[in-house]
Structure 1
Amino acid sequence: MQARRYWGLAGLVCVAVGVALGELLAAFTSPAASPVSAVGQAVIGLLPGQVKEWAIHLFGTADKTVLLLTMVLVMGLLAFSAGVLEKARRGMGMVLIGAFGVVGLAAVAVNAQASILAYAAPIVAAGVAMGLLSWVRGRFLDDDLALHQASELRAAKMAADSKGVSGKQKTPTRTPAAIRETSAREASRRKFLVTMGTGAALAVVAGGASTIFRRASVVVTELRAMVRLPMPKKPAAPIPAGAQLDIPGITSLVTDPETFYRIDTALVVPAVNSDTWTVKVTGMVEREITLNYAQLLAKPMVEEHITIGCVSNEVGGGLVGNARWLGWPVRELLAEAGVLPGADMVLSRSTDGFTAGTPLEAMTDDRNSMIAVGMDGEPLSLVHGYPARMVVPGLYGYVSATKWLMELKVTTFAADQGYWTPLGWSALGPIKTASRIDVPRSGAKPSAGQFTAAGVAWAPERGISAVEVALDGGSWVKATLAEAINKDTWVQWKVSLDLAAGGHELKVRAVDGEGTVQTATLAAPAPNGASGHHTVNFTAQ
């Protein structure tokens, strides 16, 4: 049983049990910051901006799932290596497992959601894993090593004794001692494998239990279900009858919350208890203000359809959505606090440690910037920021759309920076005029003849005044615009094309409400948003 795979298996199972028990402990002591989630959050924070952008581009909203799976794979390989190292040299596997614990402690130390009790989980995880590996070695692997060495010596002696005087090889005879040693080794192997199976089962049970107990989101979901949103003082205007075009395949005018894009830095969705939640206004203000959830809901609310988008959205991409938001204008909160002269930025902070630096002007002018509590008539879902988040028309989310809001610090761009700015992204983040072709998709094969192309265009805070398309490099042709809900939302468009059989290329561009034509200059999302004309290639049949 001395093969490396057995030692590696021992390391893998022992570490799995340790991690699972550490996660279970965290479920009771620090559910917001378990060792695994803290390490994952730290990894997200340490990754260069280009790597994060690549991950979002490649995996979209599944980027966190991919990160978790990668973490599990890496931890498994390191745990296997710890067992193999322990075979090579006693204590080396323990050192590697101890390094696991140190990494976990460091990740907890820098996690914004960690309490003092959170430090216990990585210590327990590493301690249990080291203790188990030491026990497994003493109970099975060391004894088997002695048997294996004795067996090798006996085999060598038997091989030497089996040669007669003539030097010819004789058939060796197995002695009773050799038979007993073989039997003992087989029994040891069976007990080892049973023990490893039991350990693996324990890890699965403990991991499942930690997931169940850590689901504070269950409690928060129940609290959310009891929330009754107030009637807005200023309801959203009714959606115009002609705003939604009846064209199969076109993007819905209002995005379903279940499919609304999610891009944030939280590896695990924060479960924020609205009964204890507060938001604070601090920094360059005459008076600091703390507001709880009940007080926020009692404020005079406004409701409006607003399109928001992620700066990581590629030309023609889907990281943009339109919803009906309910919230309290943030300018009224800042007015109560009394902004001091010299301030030019509001740094909003999330419970997961994320920050966004928003120009003060965007928070205090007449746009519908709000502390939102509702989305499409329902309280915010957990993934979209329950109990409260920021919504600021006209700015990319990385400088405005802080979810799980906990603080608004009035400050200056010279003194503070949001999460993404030190990573190379621009500080202001205005949303660029953009348009997208939804029908046809690239690779589509519509019938030749009359065909209706359609899509959406957006320029929040400026609105859309025109959309134009160009077929096969020809001149720009004006599309028909559906009626806009307001200047802060996207607008649908359509155009009739006469398609000849064969391949085609279709481009689109928009003109914003100020008369500025969408640029054709190609630019990647970094550092201030992608640009260029969305182009699709298709074949008419």
Structure 2
Amino acid sequence: MVSLFGTGDKVALFVLMSVVLVAVAAGAGVLERRNPPYGALVFAAGGVLALLAVTTRSGSGTLDGAPTVAGIAAAVVVLRLLLQRLRRWEDARAVPTAGPGGAGAVARRSFIRWTVTSAALAVVVGGASRIGSASLQAAAAVRRAVRLPQPATPAPPVPSGASLDVEGITPYVTPNADFYRIDTALRVPAIDPADWSLTITGEVDEEVELTWDELLALPLEEHMATLSCVSNEVGGDLIGNALWLGYPIRSLLARARPRAGADMVLSRSIDGFTAGTPLDVLQDEGTDALLAVGMNGDPLPAEHGFPARLVVPGLFGYVSATKWVTELEVTRFSRAQGYWTPRGWSERGPVKLESRIDTPVDGVTVAVGDRVPIAGVAWQPHTGVKAVQVKVGDADWQDAELADSVSADTWRQWVLRWTATKGRHEIQVRAVGADGEVQTSVQRPPAPNGATGWHGVTITAS
């Protein structure tokens, strides 16, 4: 679903689930009419599967299965009632009664009224359960009331030269509402910070537990960092840059004192997701890995991990950026795996050197002689970008103008102003890392550890 629909994966998944459920329910109705009670047994079998899913998920409670049981019971009752009214209508048609107010018309109206009412109630109850639950509303109110402390170590101000005056280029700082979201949570966890805590367990000399109040009392730091998803295609938009507020993870690990031989930290989310991050990366003095509580000056949005998440520059999110995090288990790659590793993705995911053309967009037509800004962003967090080069058609690579950046952990904007010549032109871009690495032209898909290749667009000048 992610590869097909990107950040719309969850909406697409729910639409597909709804279509399948409607089809199954319709089939169960036909089966119940012809061979009772097999239609009801279809609902019962679905209920057993749903009950298993609910009761075996991370953090499930004793009564979490009650709504599923009640829902299936209601489905069977409604199925029986609708079929009773359908049979009355069919019986009445077999013995016609004159006039529009006859038994057949009454039975038909009764069946239609019950059908429409039950369908409407199902939509209302189902929708309300997802968007209007008391826990979600309470969590939203708690988040609005949170006041984050001022950072003990503020981030350096964003230089004016970090943003190029080019229409269509990606902004240097990604607004929270536009920041990509990829995770496995079908329902955003509703967490009251008063009930939240982080534990550090596993191969440590001293287990650590940290509450929300204790976390906010620590000397928090601000760092600008670009995060990206391993699912991002070449030229894709599953990437964003934000100002993060949090506490260094290396300082928390220092409290726990990991034992010799440990090489991985398995972070766990409240929704059951796990990520395996190299221990040495989290302990590195030069890596600003944070247990983050703030994003662009606000508490973390619920969709981005409120009350706390991990932010690790230089690693793809599937091995580092655990949202709604509740546990850090110090362990070994030989003993544990993160969520995505057994599903075919690499156990380690360093971000690759990448670049993207934001403008002009593919397929656009410009006028001959126009001064066309070819612009976009380039990134290799924790290493940095020292040059961006652009190739138009068969011409040589040209160095683009680079914008400033706060640190090597953030992307850089770039622009090359090109005078359009008549014809159809393929434009390509590549970046050069601060370590001298030149972005590879080899085209590879996102799996198993990130896409590679040069991004290109084709435009026409006429």
TM-score band w.r.t. shorter chain = over 0.9
Find the counterpart in structure 2 of residue 534 from structure 1: 455
- Residues 287 and 81 of structure 1, relative CA distance in 2, 3 Å threshold: same
Distance 1:440 1:204, change over 3 A: closer
Find the partner of 2:24 among 75, 78, 94: 78
| Matched ranges for 1:119-158 at <5 A | 119-138=65-84, 140-147=85-92, 151=95
1:253-275 Cα offsets, whole Å, 9 max, x none, are: 11111101111111111111111
Judge which range, 380-389 or 100-109, deviates more: 100-109
What does the per-residue CA deviation read over 1:198-251, in whole Å, with 9 as the maximum and x for residues that have no partner?
Answer: 323433443354346415222112111221111212110111221111111111
2:398 alignment partner in structure 1: 477
**Amino acid in structure 1 at the alignment position of 2:235:** G
Q: Paired residue for 2:380?
A: 459
Where does residue 422 of structure 2 map in the other structure? 501
Give the equivalent residue in structure 2 for 1:381: 301
Residues 240-255 of structure 1: pairs in structure 2 closer than 5 A: 240-255=159-174
- 2:148 is the counterpart of 1:229: yes
Partner of residue 61, structure 1: 7
Contact residue 78 and residue 118 of structure 2 kept, 8 A: no
**Mapping for residues 22-171 of structure 1, pairs under 5 Å:** 55-138=1-84, 140-147=85-92, 151=95
3-state secondary structure, aligned to 1:61: helix
C-alpha distance in structure 2 between counterparts of 1:239 and 1:478, whole Å: 24
Q: Which runs of 5+ in 2 are unaligned?
A: none
Q: Secondary structure at the match of 1:224?
A: helix
The yes-or-no answer on 1:334 pairing with 2:253 is yes
Match for 1:131: what amino acid? V
User: Who is 1:264 aligned against?
Assistant: 183
- Bigger-Rg structure (1/2): 1
Q: How many residues are aligned here?
A: 460
How far apart are the structure 1 equivalents of 2:388 and 2:132?
A: 52
Structure 2 counterpart of 1:157: none
String of CA shifts for 1:58-99, please: whole Å, max 9, x gaps: 211111001111111111111111111011111111111111
* Aligned position for 1:404: 324
1:307 matched to 2:253? The reply is no
Q: Call closer, same or farther: CA 1:209–1:490 in 2, change over 3 Å.
A: closer
Mark the runs of 5 or more structure 1 residues left unpaired by the alignment.
Answer: 1-54, 152-176
For the aligned residue pairs, the C-alpha RMSD in angstroms reads 1.8
Question: Deviations 1:397-416 (Å, cap 9, x if unpaired)?
Answer: 00000011111111000111
Q: Which amino acid in 1 is paired with 2:203? A: M
1:124-155 CA deviation, whole Å, 9 max, x = no partner? 111121122223334x2444455566x4xxxx
Hey, what's the Cα distance between the residues in 2 that align with 1:537 and 1:468?
17
Q: CA offsets, 1:381-430, max 9 Å, x none? A: 00111000000010000000001111111100011100100011011100
Q: Aligned partners of 1:142 and 1:248: how far apart in 2?
A: 65
1-side partners of 2:439 and 2:322: how far apart?
A: 28
- Check the 8 A contact 2:235/2:357 in 1, yes or no: yes
- 2:120, 2:59 → 1: CA distance? 30
Question: Which residue pairs with 2:241 in the alignment?
Answer: 322
- Name the structure 2 match of 1:276: 195
Q: Aligned letter for 2:245?
A: L
C-alpha distance in 2 between matches for 1:266 and 1:306: 23
Paired position in structure 2 for 1:165:
none
SS of match in other structure, 1:111: coil
What corresponds to 1:416 in structure 2? 336
Specify the code of the residue in structure 2 equivalent to 1:513. Answer: A
For 1:442 and 1:213, locate their aligned partners in 2 and report how far apart those are by CA, in whole Å: 41
| Structure-1 residue corresponding to 2:363 | 443
Letter in 1 for 2:330: V
Distance 2:386 2:87 in 1: 79
Do 2:82 and 2:115's aligned partners in 1 also have CA atoms closer than 8 Å? no
CA distance in 2, matches of 1:99, 1:145: 29
Other-structure match for 2:211 = 292
Partner secondary structure for residue 59 of structure 2: coil
SS at match of 1:363: helix
**Percent of aligned positions with the same letter in both sequences?**
47
The 2-side partners of 1:448 and 1:197 are apart by 60
The residue type equivalent to 2:374 in the other structure is: A
SS of the residue aligned with 1:535? strand
Report how far residue 479 of structure 1 moved: 1.2
Decide whether aligned partners of structure 1 residues 147 and 480 sit closer, same or farther in structure 2, where only a CA change above 3 A counts: closer
Distance 2:363 2:353 in 1: 25
Deviation of 1:364 (Å): 0.4
Alpha-carbon distance in 1 for matches of 2:169, 2:192: 38
Of residues 378, 387, 394, the one that matches 2:314 is: 394
**Conservation of the 8 A alpha-carbon contact between 2:229 and 2:316:** yes
For 1:206, give the aligned amino acid: V
- The one-letter code of the counterpart of 1:272 is I
Rounded Cα–Cα distance in structure 1 between residues aligned with 2:109 and 2:355: 65
Which secondary structure does the structure 2 equivalent of 1:229 belong to? Answer: coil
1:193 aligns with 2:112: yes
Could you say which residue in structure 2 is the equivalent of 1:4?
Answer: none
- How far off is 1:57 after superposition? 2.8
CA distance in 1, matches of 2:241, 2:127: 36
Residue 426 to residue 143, structure 1, CA distance change in 2 (3 Å): same
- The equivalent position to 1:202 in structure 2, one of 121, 124, 131, is 121
Q: Alignment partner of 1:117: what SS?
A: coil
The Cα shift of 1:498 comes to 2.7
Matched, 1:364 2:283: yes
Q: Take 1:460 and 1:211, find their aligned partners in 2: how far apart are those partners?
A: 36
Distance change >3 Å, CA 479–CA 95, structure 1 → 2 = same
Structure 2 match to 1:164: none
The Cα of 1:356 is off from its aligned counterpart by 0.5
